Amino acid sequence: MIALYVVAAIAVFAAVRAILERNTGRRFPHANVLNFAVAGSLVLLLDHPITLVAAAAYFVGSTLEANAIASTYAGGVKR
Amino acid sequence: MIEYLVFAAAFGLLLLGLHRKVIARVQLRPGPPVWQEILHALKFSFKSTWVPKTASATLYVGVVLIGIGIWSAALFVVLAGESILILFAIYMLHKIVEHGFGLSSGSPYGKFGGVRSVISAASEIPLFVTIAAIYFFTDSLLLRDIVAYQAVHGPLLLIAPPAAIAMYIVILSKLPYGPFSIVESKELVSGYKTEHFGVWRAGISVIDGTKTFVLLFAFVAIFIGAMPFWAALVIMTIVLVSLSFVCAVTPMLSPFDSVTVQGIVTLLMVGYAAVLWWVMP
Amino acid sequence: MLGELLHILAAAIISWILFVAVDIFFKLPETGGVVGATAIARDIEAGGGDLAGGTMMGNIVCSPDASAGTLLAACGVYVAGIPGGLAAATLVFIGNRICHDPGYAGTTGAILATFVIYGFTLVGFAASDFIAGMVIAILTIQGLSHTHASRLLGRLWRVRE
Amino acid sequence: MLIITRISRVLSNFQNLVALFAGACIIVSLIGILSLPLAFEENQLYPKTRLDPTSGLYPYDRGGVPFGTTEVICQYPENSPYAGYVTTYLTPLSLFLAENTLYIGTTIVAHPGGIIDEILYNTRGADTVVETSILFTAFAIASYLYRREEE
Amino acid sequence: MNTTFILGLAILVIGVLSVAFVRPKTYVARLINLEIPAWGLLLVMLAYDEALALMTFVAVTAISTFVIVRLMEWRDASC
Amino acid sequence: MIIPEYSLGLLVAFAAMGVAFFAMMRETDGFHRLLLTDLIEVVSLAFIALIGTDLAEALILPGLVVGTSELIALSEIYRIKEGYTRPPDAGLQIEVMESAPGILAALLVVYGIVLSGFSGGVVAGLGVLFYLLCRGHDERFELIETASGYSWALWIVAFFIFMILPQYWFFAVMLSGSAILVKVMAKMSLIGTMRGGPNA
Amino acid sequence: MPDIGGDPLFVLEFGDILHYYTPYTITLFLLALIFTGLAIASRPERQIDIAFGGDAYYAKETTVSEMRFRRFMAIACGLATLGAMGSGDLFNFTLFVSLVGIANIGIVAAVKNRHVLDAAYEYGIVAMVATLPLFGGAALVVATTGTLAIPALAAGGFAVPLVAKAFLALGVIGEGMAPFYAAKAEMFRAPGAPYVIMCSLSSLLIFLRVVEIVITI
Amino acid sequence: MIFELQVVFGLIALLGALSAALIRDSYGKLIALGILVSGVLPFIVDRGYLDVAIAAALIAPISTIFVLMAVRRAEP
């Protein structure tokens, strides 16, 4: 149970940091922490094998999202 | 049944002739004879008839038949004392028939006549508020129930005068030469009727006659109640003459002004219906 | 209560060492896997950080790396023991392919972490401690101070070189 | 008279159409707010009762025997004599999922057989007919316009 | 009265306001803001356990987004 | 004082409707109006969602599809009206566009087929759309459309089986589930191909 | 059963959704049927336009594909109107009305003319936002009364809130708005009388039907 | 779910929604949207709709990628 509280607290902290950060590039690591925390808390909330898939799907999805945003932010691949 | 139809058409055309006569007299002109419209209808029946090359033939012919059909149906609805909702539905659908007349020929005059008739669809909307207002009193929309209600409580003309005024305005907007007759204004030659000639035009005359008869008869039945048939005819004539006076002294509005005025009438009627809804138990 | 907190802290340190070691072994700080990672590194460097460390942080953001592998392995062990951890490794592998990551840091990290965590569960740790610990570990890297974290990572990277 | 002319000038321009309609909608929404609170009728058709989180079909478990009857509260039960049969039918795949897992009831129910299929296809099938026709018509418009440009 | 419901309504209101009075008034900003009320509505559906509708809604929102983005692409290509 | 849940929801829905229409009233630009109609769709779904029964769900699904299909038609009208006729060049150029579509689309399509029905059609359609968007396409436009048309007809057949021969309900439910899946999926994925190009 | 349009003549059952026909709705139904038949059977007229500033005139021509598409839309519109006339279920009715709206837009949008497309777009926006009051109205009715069937609602015992009725009426007005706003004859510039008539007929008919519904429930 | 946790995740979702509404930069908006999604997902999982959560988590980035196609072009 304590693990869940710790994770949730970190999630809020990361969310606040991500919102307050002004520089777009440096927002991503904060959002990344949030993704970790939420993926962890999903599993802690519901202890079931499929939750693992859900957490992984969420994590991969949000990583993909961050990746896409960051790559577009960088201007895309020059060809 | 056919004799009712013939009588209604003939009497309606007579009323229309009277309408022209009264307007002319008010405007200090001699005017055509009262039976002029009947003569018109007869004359057109024997003139040569074909379909214009540019027209959409099926539609061109079809709307005439549909027009006669719906107004005959309306006549029987009124005579049988069925739901006035059907009557008013037919009345609104007359718009579509007008529209069909205008657009099917390919002539620009007809087209604009038809377009104007669609624009003025707002003129029918007061009808529904009228219906709602009547429904608040009678709890039924069957004509026979309304007549029965009036036999007990007295004419609706006195009970719900705004509704009567609204329907009066609606009938006014259907009569030729009135302030709202934008579909037949002179810059459009004969409006939607322009390209229909010969037998088709005679059909239009029948439609007009039946329409006038049905509307006035319905007005009398809804707002004054049961009475002998001859008395109904007399009152219809009186109502028509009063309408003719209005037509004679008012100018024709421009198309959108006419819509606006009718819209304002609708709004007032909505207000009236809302008050009724508030007051009635 | 306190014991569990200590467990979490210990787990945080263990997973920190684990994932940083695996990431550095797989040369994450060397180059950005995708242009997004490079852009993040650039921004971190502009904020006073270190480029190599920033690149590694960018790579962590942009693709499931050893840290994600550790987290998901912990989750897997938490829900289903060793098979769960291996399933998590598979999922991380798929995630890597989705995110256009050529390397195998995440998969390796996940498999490694599965056994490490399973081993620690035998000595009294709970797998949930490792979930929380991993989140704390990633917080120290990504969430507290980018400048200091990237300098630290950069220094470690230069040690490996 | 001047006001009427001005109103009709506004009305006659179809560019103002959306604004007029939106204005009417705002007025009605105000009426809606004024008419609150509205009581919620508890006696609903197809109610969402019997929510049992421990069932494999949660939240769509409506009980019943496959190829037997289930009680479905619909408006005219006499018009769909087989109402409830669909609800309780599980395909082999969904049966397997239902027996082995919790928490993916939505997938199981979306698979043919289930309360939503019951409503959408059987008791309120006409809705679905119309709705697919709307999709069809809208798509016909879009593809006609698109292809015309191609020519 | 549960948290999900209240939260959903709050996010719905925030989202509707943000779409209606969008700053800066660009198409992209409005398009992004459109996602906010969608998630709010999702929470409302969740509060009533309408899981299937919720899933379909998420997918349909993505498709609508694409429809609009496609239009914006054509627009940019021609301007 | 305890506020009943439904009334609170309605209050929010009405207020949201008022705000959305207010914005619509003030807006003159065509594209912004299109975006606002999308917002209004969301609000109208909120009204239905507040009912909270199984019926509500069955009503939301058609409502959703109606909203999207009208949006498709309107966006095409807007494009033609404004004369945007040059097809756009290749879309976003980032790395994940090469790696993600294959896997994600496969996942979504498989899952959509498992789901079947409306939801499945939309999910699978989204997958196909995403794939076509990223990878380009040289499919036969007409072929997909024909398939969609036939599946629509199949669904109508299934509907009449339900109504006229209810004892064959099992056949009907299978037929309708798969027919709607194919139909919705085809329609939705076709949007992805409507981006100009050689054979669109 | 609703008595306002007369006693129902017959009832078609589609599961929970009834289609019933009173003398009133059957009148409307027949008219819609006749005009749909006309739209199928008749060819579009060849419109004559007068060249400005001279006495020359010319007949407008349309492509076959455009004519075919508009006829298809007109038929779809007619079928939707037929459905809406008989439908005895509120939500089903709103869906039919939406179909009428979108088919109307289709009829207008097929014309290759900037002004017509402008108008079609505006109508389209209205038709689309009108789904909010339509569906909202149906949702309010089902939430406050627990049923959607018009016969059941007409039988009495239910307090349908006024705002739900207003929603329904407003939604139908929105969907059927296009023809009333034929302001500068935008829709009528191109030939195709049978189709344009279908457009305004359907709007009128759905309006007539919703009046009956609103008074009945 | 425990009430405190509901508050925590609700707070995250609210913060995400508010900042997505208020931030003016497109990328910032998208990141804030991601935060909103992270706040919402625990609620779905907590109710036990894991399949829905998986689908939503996979569809959300696709939606973001669609938006990104527009964002890139909106840049000068």
Is F99 in contact with C35 (Cβ distance < 8 A)? no
- Is a pLDDT exceeding 50 seen at residue H34? yes
pLDDT in tens, B166-195: 888 888 888 888 777 777 766 666 667 777
Structure token digits, residue F138: 């040289």
Quote the Cα angle for F119-D126-D58, to 5°: 40
Give the model confidence (pLDDT) of B126-176 as tens digits.
777 778 788 888 877 888 888 888 888 888 888 888 888 888 888 888 888
Which chain F residues touch D141 with a CB distance below 8 Å?
Answer: 73, 76-77
Co-location of D63 and D100 in the same domain:
yes
Average pLDDT, chain B: 82
- Which of these ranges, B44-53, B239-248, E50-59, has the smallest mean pLDDT? B44-53
Q: Give whichever of F15-19, F76-80, H5-9 has the largest mean pLDDT.
A: F15-19
- Does a structural domain hold residue G5? no
Q: Min CA distance, E3 vs chain F (Å)?
A: 12
Contacts with D, F 62-101, CB within 8 Å: 62, 65-66, 69-70, 72-73, 75-77, 79-80, 85
pLDDT band for G6, please (50, 70, 90 cuts). Answer: low
Using pLDDT thresholds of 50, 70 and 90, give the confidence band for residue D51: confident
Measured between CB atoms, does H74 come within 8 Å of chain F? no
CB contact at 8 A, A4 and A41: yes
Contacts of B70 in chain G (CB under 8 A): 31
How many domains does chain B contain in total? 1
Q: What pLDDT, in 10s, does the model give residues B94-110?
A: 888 887 887 787 777 77
Percent pLDDT > 90 in chain D is 8
Task: Report pLDDT for A16.
Answer: 93
| Nearest chain A Cα distance for residue D62, angstroms | 23
Average pLDDT, integer, range C88-104:
89
What three-state secondary structure class fits G182? coil
The lowest-confidence range among F70-79, G39-48, G86-95 is G39-48
Residue B102's pLDDT is what?
79
Which structural domain, as residue segments, surrounds residue D94? 43-151
For H57, which residue in chain E has the nearest alpha carbon? E58
**Residue F55 · residue F11 · CB < 8 Å:** no
Given a cut of 50, is residue G1 above it in pLDDT? no
Instruction: With H, G, I as helix, E, B as strand and everything else as coil, classify residue F135.
Output: helix
Residue F1 pLDDT greater than 80, yes or no: no
CB within 8 Å: C88 and A56: yes
Residues of F in contact with A69 (CB under 8 A): none
Least confident window among C59-68, D71-80, H15-24, H26-35: D71-80
Phi, psi at G7, each rounded to 5°: -75, 145
Task: Write out the DSSP string of C54-78.
Answer: HHHHHHHHHS--HHHHHHHHHHHHH
Instruction: Kindly indicate the confidence band of residue B199, based on its pLDDT and cuts at 50, 70 and 90.
Output: confident
Q: Which 86-125 residues of chain F touch chain C by CB within 8 A?
A: 94-96, 98-100, 103-104
Question: What is the pLDDT of chain E when averaged over all its residues?
Answer: 90
Smallest CA–CA separation between H31 and chain E, in Å?
11
Contact E52 D109 (CB under 8 A): yes
G89 vs B120: CA distance, rounded Å: 31
* Mean pLDDT in residue range C37-51: 89
CB spacing of B108 vs G211 below 8 angstroms: no
Across the interface, of B56, B93, B131, the residue whose CB is closest to G204 is B93
Q: What was the ipTM of the complex prediction?
A: 0.92
Q: Which of C149-153, D74-78, F91-95 has the lowest mean pLDDT?
A: F91-95
Chain G hits for D75, CB-CB cut-off 8 Å, are 16, 147-149, 152
pLDDT exceeds cutoff 50 at F200:
no
Question: Measuring CA to CA, how many Å separate A1 from each of B116, C75, C129, F72, G159?
Answer: 75, 15, 10, 48, 50
- Does D107 score more than 90 pLDDT? no
| Mean of the per-residue pLDDT values of chain A | 89
Determine contact, residues G32/G71, Cβ cutoff 8 Å.
Answer: no
Physical contact, G and F (3 or more Cβ pairs within 8 A): yes
Mean pLDDT confidence for E24-42: 92
Rg (CA), chain E: 15
CB contact under 8 A, D142 and F10: no
pLDDT at residue B239 tops 50? yes
- D50 to chain E, any CB pair closer than 8 A? The answer is no
pLDDT score of C73 more than 90: yes
Query: How far away is chain H from the Cα of A36, in angstroms, using its nearest Cα?
Result: 10
Kindly list the domain boundaries of chain A, sorted by start residue.
2-73
**Per the structure block, which two tokens stand in for G148?**
């959607």
Region of D48 please: left (phi>0), alpha (psi -120 to 50) or beta. beta
What pLDDT score was predicted for residue B189?
A: 66
Q: Considering only B193-207, D53-67, F15-29, G54-68, which range has the smallest mean pLDDT?
A: G54-68
> Residue F198 pLDDT > 50, yes or no?
no
Distance (Å, rounded) from C-alpha H28 to C-alpha A27?
Answer: 8
Return the pLDDT at F199: 41
Q: From chain B, pick out residues whose CB is under 8 angstroms from the CB of G47.
A: 54, 106, 108, 111
Question: What does the mean pLDDT of chain F come to?
Answer: 85
* pLDDT for the residue B186: 65
Segment G93-112 mean pLDDT: 88
The number of residues making up chain H comes to 76
In the structure, what pLDDT confidence band is assigned to residue G157 with cuts at 50, 70 and 90?
confident
Closest C-alpha to F31, from F84, F109, F101: F84
Shortest alpha-carbon distance between residue G52 and chain B (Å):
13
Measured over the CA atoms of residue C131, residue H55, residue F42 and residue F48, the dihedral's sign is negative
Q: Do E18 and H6 touch (CB under 8 A)?
A: no
Q: Is H52 on the interface with D (CB under 8 A)?
A: yes
G185, pLDDT greater than 60: no
pLDDT for res G183: 47
DSSP conformation letters of chain B:
-HHHHHHHHHHHHHHHHHHHHHHHHHTT-----TTHHHHHHHHHHTS-----TTS-HHHHHHHHHHHHHHHHHHHHHHHHT-BHHHHHHHHHHHHHHHHHHHHHT--HHHHHHHHHHHHGGGGGHHHHHHHHHHHHHHS--BHHHHHHHHHHH--HHHH-HHHHHHHHHHHHHHSTTSTT-GGG-GGGTTGGGTT--THHHHHHHHHHHHHHHHHHHHHHHHHT----HHHHHHHHHHHHHHHHHHHHHSPPPPHHHHHHHHHHHHHHHHHHHHHHHHH--
Q: Is residue G208, in this structure, part of any structural domain at all?
A: yes
Residue pair G196/G178 in contact by the 8 Å Cβ criterion: no
Residue B118 sits in which domain range?
A: 2-279
Q: Which residues pair with G12 in a beta bridge?
A: G19
Instruction: With a cut of 50, say whether residue E40 has pLDDT above it.
Output: yes
Are D28 and D67 in a shared domain? Answer: no
For residue G16, give every residue at least 6 positions away whose Cβ sits within 8 Å of its Cβ, in sequence order, or none: D45, D74, D75, D76, D79, D80, D123, D124, G89, G149
> Taking CB atoms and an 8 Å cut-off, how many pairs form between chains E and F?
166
CB contact under 8 A, C34 and F95: yes
Closest CA to C95 of H39, E65, A52, F121: A52
Q: Across the interface, do F100 and A76 touch by the CB < 8 Å criterion?
A: no
pLDDT confidence tier of residue G82, bands split at 50, 70 and 90: very high
Range of the domain at H36: 3-74
Q: Does residue C55 carry a pLDDT above 50?
A: yes
